[in-house]
């Protein structure tokens, strides 16, 4: 874990079947991070606005302006394409008004397909089928916005 301006970066993977990589974990609320610490299981971030104000913050909440791109997964060899017939996404319960737009980007980023939006529902589902019609491709990644 390290800092870069107002960003905290991590190196690793969430699964032993996925390659490790560097990724942005969070952004501090101010221009410059002074220090990070993980005391009592919570990440603490000290930062400054670059002038005379200093802050100590604990990670919390979520951003409504966040986006995320998964790593690209190569599913074929150089002579074949494969078909994906279903993609499911697991989430926590979504709060009222919450929504998530998802795009499937495939064939080295040449093609993009908008998938089913995940949005708040009174039944509070946590497993969402976002693709139910087959797509033929070589590689893909998901972009969440």
One domain, residues 28 and 80: no
Rounded Cα distance between 62 and 26, Å, is 10
One domain, residues 45 and 73: no
Q: Is residue 76 part of a domain?
A: yes
One domain, residues 86 and 45: no
Q: Determine the pLDDT at residue 40.
A: 74
Residue 111 CA neighbour count, 13 Å, CB half:
10
Q: Determine the pLDDT at residue 4.
A: 81
Decide if 94 contacts 127 (C-beta within 8 A). no
Rounded Cα distance between 23 and 140, Å, is 18
One domain, residues 42 and 79: no
Q: Is residue 63 part of a domain?
A: no
Q: Determine the pLDDT at residue 8.
A: 83
Q: Which domain holds residue 119?
A: 68-144
| Cβ neighbourhood burial of 140 (10 Å; 0-12, 13-18, 19+) | buried
Q: Determine the pLDDT at residue 45.
A: 86
How many distinct structural domains can be found in the chain? 2
Rounded Cα distance between 142 and 89, Å, is 11
Decide if 72 contacts 107 (C-beta within 8 A). no
One domain, residues 131 and 100: yes
Torsion of CA 100, 105, 111, 115, to 10 degrees: -30
One domain, residues 39 and 9: yes
One domain, residues 139 and 73: yes
Q: Determine the pLDDT at residue 64.
A: 67
The CA angle 108-72-112, to the nearest 5 degrees, is 50
Compute CA 120 distance to the chain's CA centroid, rounded to the nearest angstrom: 19
pLDDT, mean of each 10-residue run, the chain (145 residues): 82 76 79 82 83 81 73 82 90 85 93 92 89 89 90
Put residue 50 in one of left, alpha, beta given phi > 0 → left and psi -120 to 50 → alpha. left
One domain, residues 51 and 80: no
Q: Determine the pLDDT at residue 14.
A: 65
């Amino acid at each position: 874990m390290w800092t870069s301006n107002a960003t905290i970066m991590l190196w690793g993977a969430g699964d032993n079947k996925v390659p490790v990589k560097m990724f942005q974990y969070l952004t501090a609320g101010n221009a410059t991070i002074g220090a990070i610490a993980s005391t009592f299981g919570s990440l603490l971030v000290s930062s400054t606005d670059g002038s005379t104000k200093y802050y100590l913050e604990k990670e919390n909440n979520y951003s409504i302006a966040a986006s995320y791109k998964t790593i690209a997964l190569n599913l074929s060899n150089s002579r074949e394409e494969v078909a994906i017939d279903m993609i499911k996404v697991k989430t926590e319960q979504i709060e009222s008004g919450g929504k998530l737009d998802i795009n499937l980007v495939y064939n080295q980023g040449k093609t993009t397909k908008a998938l089913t939006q995940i949005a708040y529902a009174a039944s509070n589902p946590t497993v969402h089928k976002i693709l139910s019609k087959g797509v033929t491709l070589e590689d893909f990644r998901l972009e969440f916005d």
